[in-house]
Every structure is written in structure tokens, then in C-alpha cells.
Structure 1
Amino acid sequence: MTYQTYEPPRGSVDPLAVALGNATLFGIGYVLLRRWRPAAIAVLGSAVLLDLTATTADSRYEILLLLWWAAGTAHGWFLARRSPEHAVRLGQRAGTLALALAVVLTAALLRVDAYRIENRVTEARESGDCETAVAAQGEVWWGHRLAGAPVVEPGDAVVRACHRLAGAASTLARAARTGSTEDLGRGFGTLAEVLNDGPGNEPTVRAALDTFLDALPTDDSCDTAALTAWLRDRGRSHDVLDRSADAAARTEPAALVGCGDHLLAEDAWPQAREHYQQLLDTYPDDPRTAEARGGVRKATLAIELAEVRGLVDDTSDASSGYCAEPAKYSGAPPHRKGSGRALFLGDSEYTDRLPRSWRTGDPAKAALVVCAGEAENGAAVETCRYENKKSRYLPHQVTFHKVKIPVKVYELRTGKRLDPRSVQIGGSSCPSVLRYEYYMYDLGPGDQFVSTSKSAVRDAFRPVVGR
């Protein structure tokens, strides 16, 4: 028996080898057929579709790429079958099979790895861990995008969101350091935008928000009060950002009292009172309300006293300053008969002769404010006849009057005006010699005041000051 060995003719191609060659997406089957134009078209078409798939992450291009792959494989098979020089060539089959398997297995492994990476990204995002999510997505390279761009594309969105959240966290941290409500508003605006980009961002937004809220209260109570007031007034958005309201309610009361105390020590009394009052209005059941009410009273007294001091400093006569616009100082001593001192303003010719125990220059120690006007003629006491030494034939009739001083008396504690409206100081009249300045046409000295003494001044003002 004789055996013969079959050898395919040289230049023949194996249809299966051609199909496997085209399955590599690089047109190797067309090269085996020596069809250079289809080979170039195959390479160019595969390159374009791969680029579109990787850059757009659109599943439609993946489908087109799969169809392109199937069409090229089938087209190579049919062209080789129609060739008159086709035959089984094991060497060609082995080579193209190895290349096709390498391409397919590489693509499959890369796609599986892409799913693994994206699962880690998803788990990290769901736990609010942006750092881990960004690190996991950092493992993606161009091979993953060629083999599974739609798989890794959501991870890119997570990274973008995390970068925006990092910026928001930085802005919120700066707000916590400086008390800037502008930075606080910008930070919350970014959080809201990221949250609205997709419900899957809620855990990472919550994590960024909690980092800021955990920093409250800050070291500066006034900064904390400003930040928590903004959070309280933000209004509800019915999402995770509403967690800030609970943080505000937890930290604002202490911040309001602490800031009020600080402002009170800095003599910023209106602002201090505003902070104390905010606590009373917003948190009436807080255990610090008694402290806040005490702060309101201290600030109010300081404001009133400052206003009184300013009016007193502006007083030049009985019709200016405090005498024109009286104000109350609730911390003034009560006006009681037999005690208390008065602050005398206006004309001081006679009031300066009152006992020191009746007077005070400090508004904080006065029970009364007495505004004294210029002296004028009061009740007539006596009329006497005087002769001029140089003209005995021109006698003068001189009437002596009590010294009448118009007064405005105010109870400092209430700012209300009290009686009397004037006082009259008595004294001696008709001295034996009356000296006065005269001129060429002398008409006489005119009416005169009685001669007063300290005791007379004291007796006149005694009813005014309640002594």
C-alpha cells in the first residue's frame, strides 16, 4: 500500500484563517488574501469606531463595533471561499487563531477589570468615601476605555462630583475659620448642585456636609452665631442639606450667649442685646434664657446710659442737649425723699452753691436731672428809695425781687418731667448803699435781686431734690 502526502498549493488561503484574521479587527484576513484596500479600510474603520467608543462612552458605538467585527469576519470568510485557491492551511489557522484569541481575551479581561474598578467606585461613593472612589477610578487607563468605555464612564462623573465636593469642603472650611456667610452660601450652593446632578451623590454630599457641621461650634462664638443664623434661615430643601438645621439648633443657643458676652465686654451694646434677644425669640425653652435676659438688661442699661451721657455732654444751657430731649436710664437710683443726688445742668450760678452731697457729675449716680435756666425777677419783696449822691433831687425807687430760676426736673429712671417748674430764692433787700454802674443819662439802677445766701439757695432747691 502506498501513502501520498497532500500539500496545498502555494499561494492558497484558508477561509477559516482569513475569517480569524479579520476577527482581530486589524484586517489580517484581507492581508492573507492580498486585498490591500479592504485591509486599509478595515484598520481605519476599526480605529475610528474604537476611538468613538473610548471618547464618547456611547453604547451605540460598541454595538457598531461589534457589528463591524462580525461583518469583517464574515466578509473575509466569504471572500476566501470564493477564491479558487482556497485550502486548509493549519499554520495560517494557528497563527490567526492565536491573534484573534489574544484580541478577544484582552478585550474581555479589560472589560471585566473595568467592572471590578467601577464596583469599587460605586461602593466608595455609596459609603461617602470620595478619596477611595477617586483612587479607584485612577486605575482606569486607555485600555479600559477601549474595551469598556460605557462601564468606566460613570466613574468619571463620580470623580468630577468629588472634585467639586472637595472645592465645596474647602469653601465651607474657610467659612468655619472666618465666619463668612458668603463662603457658607457658596459652599452650600455647590453641595446643592452636586446633589441635583444625581441621587447617587447623596452619600458623598452628606459626608462633605457632615465634615463642616462637625466643625461647629468654632472657636469664635460670634462666627458660630453668624454661621448658625444663616443655616437656620436657609429654609428647607427637603434633602440631605436639611441636616444643617439640626446642627444650628444644637450649637446656636450657646453661640448667641457667648457672642453676646463678648460684645458686651467690647462695649458693642446694641449688637450684644440683639444676640441675647435672638436667643429669647428663637429658643424660648433653652436653659440659657435666664442668662440671656440678664444680658439684655445689661446691654439695655449700657445703651441708655451711653445715650444719657451723650445728651449731657451736648448740653450747653437749659434748652439744649438733655434738657431739650430727655432720655431715661433704667439703672438710675430711684428718686426717694431724703436721699439721692441730682445732676445739675444749664446755668450753674446758683446750683453750684448747693451742698456737694446733693450734686453729682456722673449720670450713673444721679436720681434726678435738673436743668436750670438764667435767673429772672421773681416775687417782689420790698421797694426802697435811694438818692444819687451827685443828684439828690433825682431819687430812685428800687424794687427788690426774689431770684426766680426756671427749672426742668426729670426723673432719670423714667425720663419723665417732675414739678416744680421754677424755684424762687429769697434773701435780704434794701441795703443801706446800692452800688451800680451808671451812664451819662442815668435812669437809675432798676429792679434788683435780693441778696442770697447758701442757706437760702439750699432752702429754695430743697423741694426740688426732695431733701
Structure 2
Amino acid sequence: MDSPAYAHGPSVPPDEPPQPPSPPGSDRPCDPVAAALGNASLLGIGYMLLGHWRPAVFTVIGTGWLLNVTVSTADTWAEVLLLVWWAAGTAHGWSLAHGRAEHVVRRGQRAGTLVLAVAVLLTAVLLRVDAYGIENRVTEAREGGDCEAAVAAQGEVGLGHRLAGAPVVEPGEAVVEACRRLERAAATLTDAARDGSTEDLERGFRVLAGVLEEPGNEQTVRTVLDTFLGGLPTEDSCATADIAGWLRDRKPSRDVLDRSATAATRTEPAALAGCGDHLMSEDAWQQARARYQHLLDTYPDDSRADEARGGVRKATLALELHKVRGLVTDAYDAESGYCDSPAKYSGAPPYRKGSNRALFLGDPEYTGQLPGGWRTDDPAKAALVVCADTAENGSAVETCHYENDKSEYLPYEVTFHKVKVPLKVYELRTGKRLDPRSVQIGGTSCPRTLYYEYYGSYDYGPGDEFVSTSKSGVRDAFRPVVER
């Protein structure tokens, strides 16, 4: 009787080849919910639970790339693409796990992946909500014209806000950039206010106009402009006048920048008057007169018009006197300086009846003998300018005979003449020439002894001679010049 055969293992048909081993984890019991929740974290955790490491790594890389695109572009389409990526990963995790032969409920995995997914999503939601709050504060600050508050609010934006809401926080960056430009414009306008540079003023307004072209910046531009205009007038009246003149002449742009015209009208008249006064104190009479005249031409009805007219007159007189002083200084004889190119000084004392003080130029031989009450060295105190030329023979007075034993040409016949002094007499107030054109000074003639000098070997005698004058004679001759 044959012994029974006992099976020692599963029977395998001798003609059927053995099956290859299954991939690791392919038949591992899994929890679809845990896999879906794991992938919902955007970190590929679901793939890791399923044992699919390559998709897990690909998911992490893809998530990082999409987040980078979202931050760099700050466009909604990038966020939509990230949302699709999240939904696809979640669904794919569920699908892979659900396709397994065996399903199990792994409460620990569900709890862990749920906490992780909720943490990721809740963090994203909270950051996005905070981003909206930040941008609301930025917008409110900009609408209130407070660039400092807007920049401070935008400064709260961190990397998390950009990852969770790049399109939300991106407009705030434009606000910050506009505020930085406005800050530079404010600094430029401050420089303009300090030194009256119209180039800086034009540059600052150009920046303001550029920022104003971007929607929503009207109030911040207004704040910068009002701060600048509120600082007018500055301590430097001439700088204020230059600024106000530029603002007044600026072409209207029909926007908030046109407010500057009102500031110009408010500050320019006083600035022009003050600048004129300052320039007068600096002896810059030409520039001072131009400022006063500009005030009269531009604001004829201003309360400072009379003051400006007085300033024009003072500046004109100062310019005339300065010119006269220069001409007097240049007069070294009767044919130079003032004597050659007379000029008027409207502030000179009038040429009137009685004695008039005169400024004597030219040859001082005889004019130097005149009384001090007739003469002055200050052009501002002279009514007349008298240019005395070199004396020449005047009317013959007497002819006398002289003998000299040492000369073979004796006797001499000598004619004595009055001293004729050619003159140019000008009324300083008008610069017009007056009479007389000359004076003749009388004196004594034919002295008992006549002294003369001769040179060389030949003595031809003294020739014609002047009479001997006296101070009283000189004074009598010049009296018709200074008295009217």
C-alpha cells in the first residue's frame, strides 16, 4: 500500500513560470483620504504615504516654481495656475490611493495630514487676509495724502504675504515708488526755495506732474505741493520773487498743480518790494530798479505801488550818481571824464538864484583860489560842474617897455593881458551846458621890474605876459559862474 503524499506548500503547476515581484508599496493598503489630504499640503505628502517618491519630489519642485512665478509676476493667472496645481495634486492623490486593491482607514495619517493641510491653507488664508488689510491701509494713507503712513504700511509686507497674495500687495509697491519720487521732488523744491533756482523748481514740478499722471496720486501730490507753497515766502525775498515769478508764468495744466498760481499772486508783490530794498542796501541799483519796475508793471494796483515808485526813483538817482562819480574820477583835465561826457544827476541841488556850489575839475591853478563855500568835492552836493582849461591870453590891458643891458634885443615891448580861463559849465541836475564859456581875470600890469626866464643862447625877451592876479580878482571873475 502506497504512503500518502503530504503537501509542503502551494502547488505550482510545473509548466507555469513564477510571477515577478510587485513594485514596493503597490499593493500596500492605503487610506485615500490621507493621501488626498497629504497632497493638499502642496508638499507631496500623499505620494510619500503611497510610496511614490518621484512624484513627491516633482510636487515639491513644481510647488516651489509656481510660488516663485506667483511672487515674481504678481499676476492672477499665476495664482489660478497654483490653485489648479493644488486641486490636481489633491485629486491625483485620492485617485492613486482609491485605485489600490485594499483600503484601510489610518486615523493617525488622516489626523497628521489634515493638520498639515489645514495649517498650510489656513496660513495662506490668514496671510492673504492680512495682505488685504495692509493694502487697505496703504490705500487709505495715499487717499489721505500721507506718503509716510503709506510707506510704513507697505513696509509690513513680508515674504509670506507675497507668497499668499502677491497680486494683493503688488499695487502697494507702486505707491511706495511714487512716494519716493515725491520725496525727491520735495527735496528739489526745498533746494529751489532756499536759493531761488528756477531750474530746481522746474525739475521738481516735472516730477510732480509725472506722479500725477498715475491714477490715485492726486492727494499725495497735493500734500507735497501744499507743503512747498506753505513755505512761501522764504526768508530770502529775492529767491521768493524768482520762485513766484516762475509760478506765475507757468503754463496752466488744469490739475492740482495750478494751485501754485494763487501762491504766486499772494507772495510776489511783497517779495519784489523786499528784494528791491535788499538790492538797494547792497548797492545793486540796476537790479533793484528792475525789481521795483516789475512790481509796478505786474501789479499796478498793489498797495506797495507807491513804495515801488519811490524805489525806482531812489535806484535811478543812485545809478546816476554812481555814473557821475565815475566820470568825475576819470576827469584829469578839461577834455576828459565828465568834462568830455557830461551826465545828469537828478538828485543834485537845483541851479537857483543866488550862490550855487560847484564841483571844479580841470586846471586848478585859479579855481583852487576860490572860497570854500563855492566849492565841493562831493558830486551829490554840487549844483554845477565847472571844467577849467589851461589859462590863455585874454584882453590886452597895457603895453610897457623894458630894458636889459645884458640883452642885445632890448628894449622890450611887453603887452600885459587879462588871464582868460576857458570853461565848460554844466548844470549837474540836467547835464546841460551853461554860460559863460570863459572868464577873464584882471589884475595889475607893467611892474617896475619884470622877471623872466630864457633858455639857450638867444634872449628874445619875455613876450606877452599875464597881469598879476589876486584872490579877490579871481573871485570877482568867477562870481558870474556860481551866482545866478
What TM-score, normalized to structure 1? 0.90
Deviation, structure 1 residue 91 = 5.2
Deviation, structure 1 residue 119 = 1.1
Select 1:262's aligned residue among 278, 289, 296: 278
Select 1:65's aligned residue among 70, 82, 91: 82
Partner of residue 357, structure 1: 373
In structure 2, relative to structure 1, the CA distance for the partners of 1:416 and 1:235 (3 Å cut) is farther
Select 1:385's aligned residue among 375, 393, 401: 401
Deviation, structure 1 residue 48 = 1.0
Deviation, structure 1 residue 406 = 1.6
Paired residue total: 458
Alignment pair present for 1:85 and 2:102: yes
Which structure 1 residue ranges, 5 or more long, are not aligned? Answer: 1-8
Partner of residue 434, structure 1: 450
Counterpart secondary structure, 1:257: helix
Alignment pair present for 1:135 and 2:123: no
Structural RMSD (CA):
2.5
Select 2:116's aligned residue among 99, 105, 109: 99
**Alpha-carbon distance in structure 2 between the residues aligned to 1:242 and 1:389:** 103
Select 2:133's aligned residue among 116, 125, 136: 116
Deviation, structure 1 residue 175 = 4.1
AA of the residue aligned to 2:212? L
1:25-44 matches, within 5 Å, as 25-44=42-61
Alignment pair present for 1:447 and 2:467: no
Partner of residue 298, structure 1: 314
Deviation, structure 1 residue 460 = 2.8
**Structure with bigger gyration radius:** 2
Please say which of residues 160-169 and 317-326 is displaced more in the overlay: 160-169
Partner of residue 408, structure 1: 424
**Alpha-carbon distance in structure 2 between the residues aligned to 1:393 and 1:262:** 75
Counterpart secondary structure, 2:331: coil
1:6-45 matches, within 5 Å, as 11-45=28-62
Select 1:395's aligned residue among 408, 411, 415: 411
Deviation, structure 1 residue 95 = 4.1
Counterpart secondary structure, 2:413: strand
**Alpha-carbon distance in structure 2 between the residues aligned to 1:425 and 1:234:** 70
Cα shift readout 1:155-193 (whole Å, capped 9, x = no counterpart): 122122223323333343344445555554444344334
1:315-394 matches, within 5 Å, as 315-391=331-407, 394=410
Counterpart secondary structure, 2:394: strand
Please say which of residues 397-406 and 140-149 is displaced more in the overlay: 397-406
Cα shift readout 1:27-60 (whole Å, capped 9, x = no counterpart): 1221222111111111110011112212331222
Identity of aligned residues (%): 74
Please say which of residues 102-111 and 281-290 is displaced more in the overlay: 102-111
**Alpha-carbon distance in structure 1 between the residues aligned to 2:482 and 2:444:** 24
Tell me if structure 1 keeps the 8 A contact 2:134–2:154. yes
Tell me if structure 1 keeps the 8 A contact 2:402–2:412. yes
Alignment pair present for 1:462 and 2:446: no
AA of the residue aligned to 2:403? E
Cα shift readout 1:323-350 (whole Å, capped 9, x = no counterpart): 1222211100111232321111000111
**Alpha-carbon distance in structure 1 between the residues aligned to 2:427 and 2:77:** 90
**Alpha-carbon distance in structure 2 between the residues aligned to 1:155 and 1:339:** 86
Please say which of residues 228-237 and 26-35 is displaced more in the overlay: 228-237
Partner of residue 291, structure 2: 275
Partner of residue 240, structure 2: 224
Tell me if structure 1 keeps the 8 A contact 2:409–2:461. no
Counterpart secondary structure, 2:95: helix
Counterpart secondary structure, 1:11: coil
Please say which of residues 363-372 and 448-457 is displaced more in the overlay: 448-457
Which structure 2 residue ranges, 5 or more long, are not aligned? Answer: 1-25
Partner of residue 439, structure 2: 423
**Alpha-carbon distance in structure 2 between the residues aligned to 1:23 and 1:419:** 117
Tell me if structure 1 keeps the 8 A contact 2:27–2:100. no
Counterpart secondary structure, 2:400: strand
